[in-house]
Structure 1
Amino acid sequence: MLLTLLGASGGAVYSILTTPKYQATTALFISVRTSGDSTTGELVQGNTFAQGKVKSYAVVAQSPRVLEPVIEDLNLDVSAKALAAQVSTSSPLDTTVLEITVSDGDPVMAANISNAVAASFSNVVVNQLEAPTGGQPSLVTIEPIEPAMVPEVPYLPNTRVNLVLGFLVGLALGLGAAILRHVLDTRIHGPQEVQVVTEAPVLGGIGFDPEAKKRPLIVHADPRSSRAESFRALRTNLQFVQLDSGPRVFVVTSSVPGEGKTTTTANLAIALAETGARVAVVDGDLRRPALADYMGLEGAVGLTDVLIGRADLKDVLQKWGRNDLFVLPAGRIPPNPSELLGSAGMAKVIAELGKTFNFVLIDAPPLLPVTDAAVLSKFTTGAIVIVAAGRTKRTELAAALRSFEHIESKVLGVVLTMLPTKGPDSYGYGNYYGGYSDVDTSKPQLKA
């Protein structure tokens, strides 16, 4: 649209900046004189001769021999070559009519030059070029049939043509740019691009919220919002994953930082707890922990202390809200996160949580910068990969998923975040807008 508007505007600007040009045309009839008792054949022969001559006369009309007298008569300050560039000639097909057209910035001058060129041309042809020897009159006659008139409107610029041409050029450039951008754009915008990279199902879609940083726990802060309903839809789909008996322990990770994995993990945990399930959410990001801050909890003591034997698991689990939701913060940042997360102690912690809780969600670091999430997935049911729509590239997601190829774990599904709420890339989750909600909001919501 922008390039189309620029093209049309360019056509308008070109029309404004172009110096107006006017055209005036003189039409001359050329014939060959015959005697009064000429036969039909002689008349046809004379007409054919005149038609053949017209092609040569069109060149003569632009010659210096014709134009120099015009320059002298009108006191023009131009050369014959420059004046010839202003003069054009034409002849309608199968006629002996010669049209002499002159263009000039002055409409009056255009008409005067056209008439002057016609008069000079007639004199040169009749009295010089076609004059017979012996002083006999020329057999060629040239008569003006339509003298040049002063034009009222310029022929240049043609504003309508310039606008249409500018519009079409801008439209073509805009379509070309849009197609090129689409072809070169490797970012994931919706489920279709995800399906190109992996066969893992899309478990849900979370719409983009510019206020997400101010209200990260949207399921708790605004339970009737469409975004909160998106997390409940994700919860419903997750309940159909891994239906076999056994603990439901999931690693939540992403390809690169900033895709919303911690926010998704926290809100999904709250949504699961709303159903009456016992839920534990673990901050497994021992490099840049953020879960405790999101949940409004003290995170000085946590998973790191349990893994090094400085604290018991039951002592560092913190209850959150009124439901059976417990949070295990990361604790202090260790110098060897990968070793701790891949240790037998971590396997023991996950096994113990799996026996105690219906759902265990582990917020893990992104896959591409570090291998922590892949290491953790060995001890869990599987991984849930968060993908930010419009940010994550297909190559990044493919490289992240390759981290699981040599590990006895699998990708259970993909969750799209930051989806546009309108347009072709919007997703069909969370369209209730304050309608149905399985949270009793008539009662005040407890804070952590």
Structure 2
Amino acid sequence: MELREVLAALRAGWWLPLIGLVVGGAAALIVSLLQAPLYTSSTQLFVSTRDTASTSEAFQGSQFSQQRVTSYARLITGEELAQRVIDRLGLEVSPGELSARITATAMSNTVLIDVTVTDESPERTQRIADAVGAEFTEFAAELETPDGADVSPVKVTVTDGAEVASAPSSPQTTRNVALGLLVGLLVGAGLAILRVRMDRTVKDPDEVVQLTGVPVIGTVLRDDALEKRHVVDRNSTTRTAEDYRQLRTNLQFLNVDQPPKVIMVTSALPSEGKTTAVVNLGLALADAGRTVTIVEADLRKPKVTRYLGIVGGVGLTNVLAGTAEVEDVVQRYGPSGLSVIASGPTPPNPGELLASSNMHAFLEKLRSGNDFVLVDAPPLLPVADSTGLAVYMDGVLLSVRYGSTRKEQLQQAAVSLERVGAKTLGVILNIVPARAELASAYGYGYGYGYGSEPEGGTKGGKRRA
């Protein structure tokens, strides 16, 4: 995963690191506040040998002491010494519990042993540490004194006495909260990246090329008003209106020498914006002076006539069945050069009807009288209607819903078209959120209405300073 993709993932899921930061810091703070404060007191022991008259004896005694300190450190944390401390101080704990509170560290290449005691009471901690030093001095002398001798050759001396701790050593609330914030931030960032890695929906134009072999020729921003009325205000300069004008321009320049005239618009699955794309692309082409006919070929769930508010009684199926002529079912829409042919009555065999020779002859007749024929076809994956129809087309446009269409679905749709020899012209990436990285890349962050302000100032005639 490249750095650019990581940054994009963090931007898309910025709220996950934020939540992780808050949760991690709060959890660390709560845990720290719930912990009982612990105090630490330390003492230091010095191990030496007696009767070192010469330098060589002193050196040998030093080596002997260094060999002893590691064993002594283990003895200090043992239950035998803990029992002696308990008896000395009259503590009401078991030897195992007390030994767990004592740590001893043998300093490397020295004859020093650092002893640390941790307890909930600072005064008791100091008394235990002092008792450990005193008891171990006697305990070591007992162990090292040979049989028949009165004095041990090894001497253990307390060099640093224990002091009463002025502040608890645990919990370290500030450190814990800082670590909690850091861990929460990293976990949140990891989840944000994992969320993108696990996301199998189509969001990247480069992925579209890899999956289909064709480019994205149009990107349409999410528009709540368009989702309700389905038709763009053609006189407006909103971002969505500009998106369809840009799609119109890209479509016209796909092949300058032999531009496609009969074009099918379909999708992998329903609810991916194909009918809205057909309607508004047709209007945009008509506004540019082109003669356009939209054919409502989604015979199972026709929506074009409903979106445009025109009659849907007779139409395509009547022409294909031979009960009506093309001229009888064509409906003009508005003052521009846009015509619509409704789907007509729902037949029992939509797939066979759309793949029939009558359908081919019908499209050829429309080709001769129009600059563009846009066919709103059924989705490719749920039914086989569109694959039989696609062979009669100059090209196919695939409508893909940003963040909804899955990669494998898009790839399967492209393969189904390739299998029948249909030519896929490109992909329309629909319903792109304004906050998406793709929207920013296309300059949508500059807002709607670019160039729409009347010359000479703003509303009310006031000029900008």
- Per the normalisation by structure 2, the TM-score is 0.85
Instruction: Give how far 1:354 is off.
Output: 1.5
- Distance in 2 separating the partners of 1:176 and 1:356: 58
* SS of aligned partner of 1:257: coil
**Selected match of 1:14 from 31, 45, 63:** 31
Overall identity of the aligned pairs, in %: 38
* SS of aligned partner of 1:28: strand
Q: Which moved more, 1:326-335 or 1:58-67?
A: 58-67
- Distance in 2 separating the partners of 1:247 and 1:10: 62
1:150 aligns with 2:164: yes
Partner of 2:51: 34
- Distance in 1 separating the partners of 2:124 and 2:356: 97
CA contact (8 A) 1:197 1:394 kept: yes
* Correspondences of 1:198-217 after superposition (within 5 Å): 198-217=212-231
Partner of 1:81: 96
* SS of aligned partner of 1:60: helix
- Structure 1 unaligned residues grouped into runs of 5+: 438-448
CA contact (8 A) 2:24 2:183 kept: yes
Q: How many residue pairs end up in the alignment?
A: 433
Instruction: Give how far 1:224 is off.
Output: 1.0
* 1:125-179 Cα deviation digits (max 9, x unpaired): 23x2344666744444433222111112222223344345444544554454444
Partner of 2:354: 341
Q: Which moved more, 1:180-189 or 1:356-365?
A: 180-189
CA contact (8 A) 1:284 1:363 kept: yes
1:108 aligns with 2:123: yes
CA contact (8 A) 2:253 2:259 kept: no
- Structure 2 unaligned residues grouped into runs of 5+: 1-16, 453-465
* 1:13-45 Cα deviation digits (max 9, x unpaired): 33233332221111122333337xx33333333
Letter in 1 for 2:398: V
Partner of 2:82: 67
Partner of 1:295: 308
* 1:45-96 Cα deviation digits (max 9, x unpaired): 3333333332232233234443223212322121212211111112322322
* SS of aligned partner of 1:405: helix
Letter in 2 for 1:43: A
CA contact (8 A) 1:366 1:373 kept: yes
Letter in 2 for 1:145: T
Letter in 2 for 1:32: T
- Distance in 1 separating the partners of 2:101 and 2:259: 92
**Selected match of 2:135 from 97, 117, 120:** 120
Cα 1:210–1:149 change in 2 (3 A) is: farther
- Distance in 1 separating the partners of 2:360 and 2:24: 64
- Distance in 1 separating the partners of 2:447 and 2:137: 87
Partner of 2:211: 197
* SS of aligned partner of 1:379: coil
* Correspondences of 1:259-408 after superposition (within 5 Å): 259-408=272-421
Q: Which moved more, 1:230-239 or 1:14-23?
A: 14-23
Instruction: Give how far 1:436 is off.
Output: 4.5
* SS of aligned partner of 2:229: coil
Instruction: Give how far 1:100 is off.
Output: 1.8
Cα 1:54–1:297 change in 2 (3 A) is: same
Partner of 2:113: 98
Partner of 1:255: 268
Partner of 1:218: 232
* SS of aligned partner of 1:149: coil
- Distance in 2 separating the partners of 1:103 and 1:141: 26
CA contact (8 A) 1:219 1:267 kept: no
Letter in 2 for 1:270: L
- Per the normalisation by structure 1, the TM-score is 0.88
- Distance in 2 separating the partners of 1:247 and 1:240: 10
Partner of 1:446: none
CA contact (8 A) 1:23 1:102 kept: yes
Instruction: Give how far 1:434 is off.
Output: 1.3
Cα 1:85–1:428 change in 2 (3 A) is: same
Q: Which moved more, 1:390-399 or 1:288-297?
A: 390-399
* 1:249-279 Cα deviation digits (max 9, x unpaired): 1111111111100000111111111111111
